[in-house]
Amino acid sequence: MDDELKIEKSLMKINKTLKNQPDEKKSPKKRVTKKKSPVEKKSPRKPKRKLKLVELAPKLSIDEYEIMEKVQPEELDELVPILHMDNNRERPINAKHNKTVKKLNIIDNDNNINQDKMASKVKLAKKIVEDFQNNGITVLESLTEEELVTVIEGNNHAYYNTNKPLTSDNEYDIIKEYMERKYPKNTIITEVGAKIIKNKVELPYKMASMDKIKPDTNALTKWTTTYKGPYVLSCKLDGVSGLYTTEGEIPKLYTRGNGTIGQDISHLIPVLNLPTEKNSVIRGEFIIPRLVFEEKYKKRFANARNLVSGIVNSKKIDEKTQDLHFVAYEVIQPSLKPSEQMKKIEELGHISVQNQTVDNLTNEMLSGILMDWRTNYEYEIDGVIVTNDRVYTRTDGNPDYAFAFKMVISDQVAEAKVVDVIWTPSKSGYLKPRVRIEPIKLGGVTIEYATGFNGKFIEENKIGIGAIIQIIRSGDVIPYIKSVTTPAEHAKMPVTEYHWTDSHVDLVLDNVTDDETVQEKNITDFFTGIEVESLSTGNVKKIMKAGYRTIPDILKMTKDDFEKVDGFKEKMVNKIYEGIQSKIERASLITIMASSNKFGRGIGKRKITPIMNKYPNILVSDENVNEKIAMLQLIEGIGKENAKGFVNNINNFISFLEECNLHHKLGNTKIEATAETDVEINNGQIHDESNPLYGKYIVMTKVRDAEIIDYLKKVGGHLDNNISKKTFILVVKSLDDVSNKTKKANADNIPIMTPEMFKTEYINT
């Protein structure tokens, strides 16, 4: 009715315009002018009527044109059926109107003007997507609503009409879901597919999509309150949606397109060997079995879905078409309840989607079924479809009586999509990955980040934007990645210049000393180490911005210098200046050594304390390098690498003292170790109650790591042989190892780590 009303109003405007224009049969009004020299009289030109209907037809528009004599005003009524008054609808031009179309010089914007516009949208979308793939979700957060719409429309067009998708499926989901969170009222969220540009036809039935239920909310409980069951569960196939009908004289096969206008691909019916029993309408998925894709196409195509899209969009039938399946999952006609639909599909002779009927639903049960089907089903799936087992009248929109379940969740484990991998340099220049995920709730806590351990873990597991990972949170353990469900196409590595360590485990900045973040962390850690208040990260940044970029620079600053720092008032100046002067004089040599970070990664207060306790004069004694290294290895917990790192950096530290005018600190050789630390030293062991491993039980299987064992002894941790409720972490040789211990750890949600992961998280921090 809205369309008819708009058309009627538009025609009234048109007729009013025509009535106000001079009739060609009447003489035009004469214009009074001064008489000029008599000239031969010419017949007055017939005025040309102009009409512009562009605003009335956003998809099929009429250019500004001249109404010729052969076109009469009353013929304009014939235009009504071809005017597109609703942007979200398509209406083909039928033969009846062709004559008028030609006379009025109508331009099909979908094939001309809009194609040019869409090409521009795709170009812009591609540029934004590449930025998103390189820099993560922060790119989306910087976009306007209009730009986000362009990205989604460009993606849709590229995927459905060019067979050259701009993103992976998971990357696209991230963009679409971000749009849904940020602009929930935008209609692009509910649109499916894209406008078809080849062989387009109006679909005989609407093909809507499915709403998703997030398992980390109470949405499932609300839904089951309305829909009591039983419920039919079926695989959400990851292919290209299609419609097959035998209602007409000949069978027809379509792609979904945008849910209203699809593509006629009936030429594929004989190849797919579809049943031809009359009066049935079946919805299904064009898809290729996983094993076939792995064996024949994996090296040539990024994924099976892209391959399928290329096959159904091609006019040619080649050998790839022989591997295409049409897997049916819904009977539209005749009208049946879902469980009966599944039986009907098999009776007709179609390939039926895997399904089962249940009486009750829980997140845990759906998670278990999803993991089972995802592992064992012959086709690629990306979720479970849940439908209440009743007969419902089909509507144009997404059905309320069904939903898609796509993410696994339990009490301590949940699946999440990766939206970014943030690489941050440590004070030693080691690049540490932090994995940002779409927000999930786990154990009542909202989680947005998880540790990525190290470069090797990110690279080997292809953790990048769009990857689906399983996050575990147990007790006070920092959320970490338990496993990777679906890797990204590429791991998201740092964009800055870096190199690998010799062990190929960690990444290190090429220019450590020039990196501003490294400088800032070293300055902040130093002054925090000597207990100067008010020199937090924020104030350090301000001081650095004022031009004081090293620890010696700041130690030499006067009150006047601090007063010139932007945002520093007198009270703050006095507090920082007096704090520095007081604390630096009282700081012991061990404190300065540990806070300076001059001895390298992994050599902090816990290692420096026993060294200086054993050899107070080691910094200035006469032994050569090799002798000192040998001496240090006699200390429990100090291995060869630590000994070399310490000894090789002695001169580096002494130079630092001289730059800071602190050379006199070398004379402070009487060390009271217990006064230097907040730890207790007993028989060579350091029990630090603030250490996250203090009092914790660690189990190792198929691996023994001396460094971890020594460290546990030093900090008061315990090495255990068997998995129990008190086990904190299980250390394994490889995450691929399967044993009774790993099975029990998984069952009890006990974190499992390799030695490298353990050291990265707890020792080499």
Each residue of 706-715: pLDDT tens digit?
889 888 888 8
How far is residue 499 CA from its own chain's centroid? 26
pLDDT classification of 57: cutoffs 50, 70, 90: very low
Q: Rounded CA gap, 287 and 169, in Å?
A: 15
Q: Output the pLDDT for position 763.
A: 83
Assigned domain for 392 exists: no
The total domain count for the chain is 6
- Assess contact for 399 and 231: CB atoms under 8 A: no
Are 124 and 150 in contact, with CB atoms under 8 Å apart?
yes
Strands 727-732 and 697-701, how do they pair?
parallel
Residue 631 resides in a domain: yes
| One domain, residues 546 and 563 | yes
617 & 758 share domain? no
Same-domain status, 525 and 666: yes
CATH code of the domain covering residue 438? 2.40.50.140
Give 512's Cβ-side CA count (13 Å radius): 16
Question: Looking at the domain assignment, is residue 369 inside a domain?
Answer: no
pLDDT given for residue 680 in this prediction: 42
Q: Write the CATH number for 282.
A: 3.30.470.30
Last residue of a domain, one of 509, 542, 574: 509
Check residue 669 and give its pLDDT.
Answer: 47
Q: Which of 85, 108, 131 finishes a domain? A: 108
Largest Cα separation within the chain, whole Å, is 128
Q: Exactly one of 236, 598, 607, 714 is catalytic; which is it?
A: 236
Same domain, 698 and 670: no
Give the residue-averaged pLDDT of 173-190: 89
> Are 654 and 691 within one domain?
no
pLDDT for 461 = 95
Residue 236 lies in a domain: yes
**Distance between CA 487 and CA 231 in Å, rounded?**
31
236 in catalytic set = yes
pLDDT higher than threshold 90 for residue 165:
no
Is the sign of the CA dihedral 271, 274, 277, 282 positive or negative? Answer: negative
What pLDDT sits at residue 194?
67
> Which one-letter amino acid corresponds to residue 208?
A
Nearest residue to 151 (alpha-carbon basis) of 192, 114, 122: 122
How far is Cα 375 from Cα 356, in angstroms, rounded to an integer?
A: 17
In a domain, 743, yes or no: yes
Residues 546 and 460 in one domain: no
> Percent of the chain beyond pLDDT 90?
52
| Mean pLDDT for the stretch of residues 500-525 | 93
Shared-domain flag, residues 521 and 664: yes
- Look at residue 266 and tell me if it is in a domain: yes
Mean pLDDT, rounded, for 466-487: 84
Tens digit of each residue's pLDDT (9 = 90 or more) over 555-568: 999 999 999 999 99
Q: Is residue 387 part of a domain?
A: no
CA distances from 465 to 93, 134, 456 (A): 43, 9, 17
| Residues 641-699 pLDDT 10s | 999 999 999 999 999 999 999 988 887 544 444 333 344 444 445 556 677 888 899 99
Residues 529 and 585 in one domain: yes
- For residues 295 and 434, membership in a common domain is answered with no
Higher pLDDT, 396 or 454: 454
pLDDT of 740: 86
Confidence of residue 760 (pLDDT cuts 50, 70, 90): confident
What size, in residues, is the chain? Answer: 765
Give the confidence band of 293 by pLDDT, cuts at 50, 70, 90: very high
Residues 233-253, mean pLDDT to the nearest whole number:
95
pLDDT of residue 738: 84
- Would you state the structure tokens that stand for residue 409, as one six-digit string? 């969740």
Lowest mean pLDDT among 93-107, 154-168, 723-737: 93-107
Higher pLDDT, 484 or 61: 484
Banded model confidence at residue 120, pLDDT cuts 50, 70, 90: confident
**Beta strand 498-500 pairing with 507-509:** antiparallel
- Looking at residues 112-124, what average pLDDT do you find? 73
Residues 474 and 619 in one domain: no
Range of the domain at 135: 113-189
Residues 532 and 666 in one domain: yes
Cα 635 to chain centroid, rounded: 48
What is the SS3 assignment for 190?
A: coil
Task: Reduce the DSSP state of residue 16 to 3 states and report it.
Answer: helix
Confidence (pLDDT) at 114: 58
pLDDT of res. 411: 67
- Does 27 score more than 70 pLDDT? no
* pLDDT > 70: percent of the chain: 80
What CATH number does residue 714 fall under?
Answer: 3.40.50.10190
Which two tokens mark 347? Answer: 């009776």
The HSE-up count of residue 391 (CA atoms within 13 Å, CB side) is: 9
Domain identity same for 290 and 341: yes
Beta bridge partners of 49: 67
Is the residue at 87 inside a domain? Answer: yes
User: For residue 97, is pLDDT > 80?
Assistant: no
> Average pLDDT, stretch 731-744?
87
Q: Looking at the predicted structure, is the pLDDT value of residue 232 above 60?
A: yes
Task: Examine the fold and report which residue of 459, 476, 509 is the final residue of a domain before the chain moves on.
Answer: 509
The average confidence (pLDDT) of the chain is 82
User: What integer is the mean pLDDT of 394-415?
Assistant: 86
pLDDT band with cut points at 50, 70 and 90 for residue 10: low
